Amino acid sequence: MTLRIGNASGFYGDRFSAVREMLTGGPLDVLTGDYLAELTMLILGRDQLKDPDRGYAKTFLRQLEENLALAKEKGVRIVTNAGGLNPAGLAAAIRELAGKLGLDVAVAHVEGDDLLSRVDELNLGKPLTANAYLGAWGIVECLNAGADVVVTGRVTDASLIVGPAAAHYGWARDDYDALAGAVAAGHVIECGAQATGGNYAFFTEHRLGVPGFPVAEIESDGSSVITKHDGTGGVVDVGTVTAQLLYEITGARYAGPDVTTRFDTMTLAHDGPDRVRISGTKGEPPPPTLKVCLNRLGGFRNETTFVLTGLDIDAKAALVREQLEGSLKDNPPAEIRWTLARTDHEDAETEERASALLHCAVKDPDPKVAGRAFSGAGIELALASYPGFHVTAPPSDASPFGVYTASYVDAREVPHIAVLPDGRRVDIAPAEETRELSDVDDPPLPEPLAGKTKRAPLGRVIGARSGDKGGDANLGVWARSDAAWRWLANTLTVGEFRRLLPETAGLPVRRHVLPNLRALDFVVTGLLGEGVASQARFDPQAKAFGEWLRARHADVPEELL
């Protein structure tokens, strides 16, 4: 029987009501929730510094207070990574909650990902958090032991979906194609409403309302249909699924702890209203190493935004920059970054439209240097600087910032333990068969599209979705017709990409070709500095990076317009 898996969370802070919406909106076998991201691990790490018993997503526990009885009544099993840095603690809290609610609920958890006590042994530096990305087989063991709720720490996002599918169908560890198919389905639904029209490039073509959350109907061979509950907002079509498949990948081979999924093999097909079938996905043995998410406290940061109005914007910016840096010369911050946003318009009808924003951000190991010393120096210029001096917010103290790095360790060095509902601990062996990860050679490109061209925004023809991988940015673009694909594949080279997005000009850029999806995937190394928590740029997670590309103008064939 087809396994129906719904997802009710794409990040820590997602729609609180989604758990109830998914449990009441239609039939489900399993409900998942993804609460972890690189930044979330830092947040949970800081929580745990204050209280060792914390370190998990408290929101999930509150959601269960309202919905655990409903899930039990409907026979829906729950699998979540909300355990964060303390899956055992969350599992214990759920058992306590079930007791208060008078429910007989079997709770299990997966641990072993936390490597903080072994960072010296594994040469991982001095991080605040150190967590390896585990796979799906601990979840499988817990579900096979009868767990109603499975809590994990840091597993790959797709593992929350792969585990229930593998348990349901009895897949072996070398059923790579089936596992890869489940990874594809999991990658689509793990970010919640992004699969149902959220953050979608062509949103103006649909009446989205508030998108519902997605459902994956997974078959025994790993193929799936992505859909949503009837009557919920949003849309599921080939475009929304393509967009999510391209989100935060790094090429045709997508490595995981259980299988390496070939994103260049899958095909998408319309399967009815709000239904898209994913089939043909091929899998390969996983690499011999596991990725490790490392977060450390990097120091303290602060920022001030000066408003520059009217004439002589560049001169006003130069004056306040010279004055502020001069005031800080005796004890300068370790890093100071200026950004001038020319939001001003000539002969503007409102003061706001006549104004530009000069943003100054500083970082330093000393909170005093980055704090009042910096913001006070800026405000002291109020009567001594450019005409019309004011700022967008009052001065503030510095706030701590984090630094993310990724490392890799031999999978055999990382414990993977399923703690079953009866307390038994089962060791999950690492993959016996592994294969070093390598790039896929780009396939032959289609024939170029000839004909007259017209200057137009790229977004008239292509969709895009972008995001972060630590300090790197990922940007996937896709065409919606074969003709547009012929043009896109031959036109958007790495050189043209760099020309359109000048911020990338001095950075390594890799392009990957995915013809089955009529898509290109670009990975820009180092664009985001030391990761989202370091706030290295205006858009620190590169969420709008793709929309910037779509807004850029190029010579587009007239027949595509």
The residue type at 154: R
Measured distance between the N- and C-terminal CA atoms of the chain, rounded to whole angstroms? 45
Is residue 59 domain-shared with residue 107, that is, in the same domain?
yes
Q: Is 432 inside a domain boundary?
A: no
Q: What is the pLDDT of residues 209-224, one digit of tens each?
A: 999 999 999 999 999 9
Does the pLDDT value for residue 10 go beyond 90? yes
pLDDT of 91:
98
Is residue 54 domain-shared with residue 197, that is, in the same domain?
yes
DSSP run (H or E) holding 101: helix 87-101
pLDDT confidence band for 315 (50 / 70 / 90): very high
Q: Is 448 inside a domain boundary?
A: no
pLDDT of 434:
97
Place of tokens 């594809």: 184
Q: What is the pLDDT of residues 479-537, one digit of tens each?
A: 999 999 999 999 999 999 999 999 999 999 999 999 999 999 999 999 988 877 777 67
Count of structural domains, the chain: 3
Name the pTM for this structure: 0.94
Q: Is 435 inside a domain boundary?
A: no
Is residue 149 domain-shared with residue 234, that is, in the same domain?
yes
Cα gap 532→155, rounded to integer Å: 20
> CA 106 from chain center: how many Å?
31
pLDDT of 205:
95
Cα gap 186→259, rounded to integer Å: 13
CATH code, 380: 3.30.70.600
Q: Radius of gyration of the chain from Cα atoms?
A: 25
Residues 6+ positions from 279 with CB-CB distance below 8 Å: 181, 223, 266, 267, 269
Q: How many CB atoms lie within 10 A of CB 479?
A: 22
At 468 the three-state DSSP class reads strand
Structure tokens at 360: 């100054």
Is residue 397 domain-shared with residue 410, that is, in the same domain?
no
Q: Are 537 and 527 in contact (CB under 8 A)?
A: yes
Is residue 393 domain-shared with residue 488, that is, in the same domain?
no
Q: In whole angstroms, how far apart are CA 482 and each of 201, 449, 455, 456, 513?
A: 19, 10, 21, 19, 14
Is residue 116 domain-shared with residue 247, that is, in the same domain?
yes
Q: Is 179 inside a domain boundary?
A: yes
Is residue 249 domain-shared with residue 343, that is, in the same domain?
no
pLDDT of 536:
66
Q: What is the pLDDT of residues 109-164, one digit of tens each?
A: 999 999 999 999 999 999 999 999 999 999 999 999 999 999 999 999 999 999 99
Structure tokens at 455: 């200057």
Q: Is 433 inside a domain boundary?
A: no
Q: How many CB atoms lie within 10 A of CB 275?
A: 16
Does the pLDDT value for residue 439 go beyond 80? yes
Give the residue from 458, 471, 463, 479 showing the smallest Cα distance to 524.
471
Q: Is 539 inside a domain boundary?
A: yes
Does the pLDDT value for residue 553 go beyond 90? yes
Is residue 197 domain-shared with residue 116, that is, in the same domain?
yes
Q: How many CB atoms lie within 10 A of CB 490?
A: 13
DSSP run (H or E) holding 245: helix 238-245
Is residue 250 domain-shared with residue 159, that is, in the same domain?
yes
> CA 120 from chain center: how many Å?
29
> CA 206 from chain center: how many Å?
24
What percent of the chain is predicted at pLDDT more than 70?
Answer: 99
Cα gap 120→104, rounded to integer Å: 42
pLDDT confidence band for 394 (50 / 70 / 90): confident
Q: Is 307 inside a domain boundary?
A: yes
Q: What is the mean pLDDT of residues 442-462?
A: 94
**Phi and psi of 136, rounded to 5°?**
-95, -15
Cα gap 333→80, rounded to integer Å: 42
Give residue 331's domain range: 299-403
Q: Is 303 inside a domain boundary?
A: yes
Does the pLDDT value for residue 363 go beyond 80? yes
The DSSP string of 363-420 is EESSHHHHTHHHHHHHHTTTTTSSTT-EESS-----EEEEEEEEEEEEGGGS--EEE-
Cα gap 515→489, rounded to integer Å: 9
Is residue 129 domain-shared with residue 30, that is, in the same domain?
yes
Is residue 127 domain-shared with residue 167, that is, in the same domain?
yes
Structure tokens at 136: 């799906």
Does the pLDDT value for residue 409 go beyond 80? yes
Does the pLDDT value for residue 260 go beyond 70? yes
